[in-house]
C-alpha cells in the first residue's frame, strides 16, 4: 500500500481509519473521500480530502488515476436500518458503488478492502459459533447487498486477479463519530446518554446477543488484513471477526459499574429487533486468527472503561 483512497471517509469507520492510515503511510499518501456529510477538520488538515460520489463510475476512475491510487478501502455504504427504509437507494449506493470501485481497481491495478458485516448472515444461519463458511440467506436489503458484495469481490479476485480482501464486522463501538442508521447503534448511543442523562431507552430487547467490537480493533483488523502476505490467505471475502458478544442488559451492567446511577429502559423498535434477530449471536473467528493473526485487544470491560473515559473528556470540551 503506497497510495490509498478511503471512500466513506466521514463515516464511523472512515473518520478513524484515515488518521491511522496517514500515521502509517504518510498524510500525503492517503486520500479521504466523502460525499454529502461535512468532513471532520482532521480529514482536511492532515492530508487531501475530496468529494466523491461512488455511484458515478467516471468520477471513481478519474480519482484513482489522478492520485495514482494502488489500494482502496471502500467504506461508502448505507447501514442496515437505513437500507430497510430505502432499499432502492441501498442497492444503488452499496452495489453500484462497489461495482464501480471493483471496475476501477481492475483497470488500474488497485487492491480493495471491503467491509462486510454480520448482516451477511440470515435467520437460517447457525446463530451461535457461526462458522466462517456457512449458509448465507439474509432477509434484509443490507444483508442481500453484503452477501452479493462478498461474492462480487471474490469474483473479481478469481476472474480478474483483483486483490480483494474483507472482514465481516460486528457492531462497532466508537467515541469519534456516531454510526448512521445501523441496528447495533444502541451500543454507541447508550454511552452518550449514560454520560449526559444517566439513562437510556434501548430499542432492542433484553437477551438480544450480538457480536460487537471496539473501533481500535476494527481499524487494526482492516490494516493488518491488507498488509498480510497474500500467500497466507485461503479465504478472502470475507473473514468472520469478533471481539465480544453481549446483550443490552449486560452492557448496561458494565456501564453501571462506572456510572452507578445509570438506568436503562426499553422501547422496542420492531424493524431493528427483527434485523437483530436474524443475525448471529456469536461468530466463530478462528479462520481469521489462523490465516492472518487476527487478535482483538478489547473485551467488554476494557472497552467500557476506555469509552467512558474518552467520551466524557470529548463531551466536556
Q: Identify which range of 25-33, 177-185, 189-197, 230-238 contacts ligand AKB by CB under 6 A.
A: 177-185
- How far, in Å, CA of 201 to CA of 264, rounded? 6
Query: Total residues at the site for ligand AKB (CB under 6 A)?
Result: 12
Q: Identify which range of 20-28, 114-122, 230-238, 249-257 contacts ligand AKB by CB under 6 A.
A: 114-122
- Our CB check for ligand AKB shows the closer of 29 and 117 to be 117
The reply on whether position 183 binds ligand AKB by CB under 6 A is: yes
- Choose, by CB under 6 A, the member of 63, 90, 118, 215 that binds ligand AKB: 118
Q: Identify which range of 22-30, 55-63, 175-183, 295-303 contacts ligand AKB by CB under 6 A.
A: 175-183
Q: How many CB atoms sit inside 10 A of residue 143's CB?
A: 26
At 153, list the grid cell: 469481490
Compose the 68-97 pattern: x for residues touching ligand AKB by CB under 6 A, - for all others: -----------xx-----------------
- How far, in Å, CA of 160 to CA of 167, rounded? 21
- How far, in Å, CA of 256 to CA of 254, rounded? 6
In 109-185, where does DSSP find H-type helix? 141-160
Query: Quick one: which H or E segment has residue 210?
Result: strand 210-214
Phi, psi values for residue 301, rounded to 5°: -65, -45
In 177-257, where does DSSP find H-type helix? 186-196, 215-227, 248-256
Q: How many CB atoms sit inside 10 A of residue 97's CB?
A: 27
- Our CB check for ligand AKB shows the closer of 80 and 278 to be 80
The reply on whether position 245 binds ligand AKB by CB under 6 A is: no
- Least separation in angstroms between residue 255's CB and ligand AKB is 19
Residues that bind ligand AKB (CB under 6 A): 79-80, 117-119, 170-172, 179, 182-184
Amino acid at each position: 500500500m503506497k497510495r490509498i483512497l478511503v471512500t466513506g471517509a466521514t463515516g464511523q469507520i472512515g473518520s478513524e481509519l484515515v488518521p491511522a492510515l496517514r500515521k502509517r503511510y504518510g498524510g500525503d499518501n492517503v486520500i479521504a473521500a466523502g460525499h454529502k456529510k461535512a468532513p471532520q477538520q482532521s480529514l482536511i488538515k492532515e492530508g487531501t480530502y475530496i468529494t466523491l460520489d461512488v455511484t458515478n463510475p467516471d468520477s471513481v476512475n478519474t480519482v484513482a488515476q489522478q492520485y495514482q491510487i494502488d489500494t482502496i478501502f471502500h467504506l461508502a455504504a448505507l447501514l442496515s436500518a437505513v437500507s430497510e427504509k430505502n432499499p432502492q437507494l441501498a442497492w444503488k449506493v452499496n452495489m453500484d458503488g462497489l461495482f464501480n470501485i471493483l471496475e476501477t481497481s481492475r483497470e488500474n491495478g488497485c487492491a480493495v478492502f471491503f467491509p462486510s458485516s454480520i448482516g451477511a448472515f440470515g435467520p437460517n444461519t447457525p446463530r451461535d459459533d457461526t462458522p466462517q463458511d456457512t449458509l448465507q440467506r439474509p432477509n434484509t436489503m443490507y444483508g442481500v447487498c453484503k452477501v452479493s458484495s462478498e461474492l462480487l469481490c471474490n469474483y473479481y479476485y478469481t476472474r480478474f486477479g483483483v486483490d480483494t480482501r474483507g472482514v465481516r464486522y460486528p457492531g462497532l463501538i466508537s467515541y469519534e463519530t456516531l454510526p448512521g442508521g445501523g441496528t447495533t447503534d444502541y451500543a454507541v448511543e447508550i454511552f452518550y446518554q449514560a454520560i449526559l442523562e444517566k439513562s437510556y431507552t434501548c430499542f432492542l430487547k433484553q437477551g438480544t446477543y450480538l457480536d460487537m467490537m471496539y473501533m481500535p480493533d476494527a481499524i487494526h483488523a482492516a490494516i493488518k488484513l491488507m498488509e498480510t502476505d497474500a500467500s497466507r490467505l485461503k479465504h478472502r471475502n470475507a473473514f468472520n471477526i469478533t471481539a465480544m458478544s453481549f446483550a443490552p442488559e449486560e452492557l448496561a451492567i458494565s456501564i453501571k459499574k462506572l456510572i452507578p446511577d445509570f438506568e436503562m429502559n426499553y422501547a422496542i423498535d420492531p424493524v431493528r429487533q427483527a434485523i437483530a434477530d436474524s443475525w448471529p449471536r456469536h461468530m466463530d473467528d478462528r479462520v481469521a486468527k489462523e490465516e492472518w493473526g487476527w487478535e482483538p485487544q478489547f473485551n467488554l470491560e476494557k472497552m467500557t472503561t476506555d469509552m467512558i473515559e474518552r467520551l466524557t473528556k470529548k463531551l466536556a470540551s
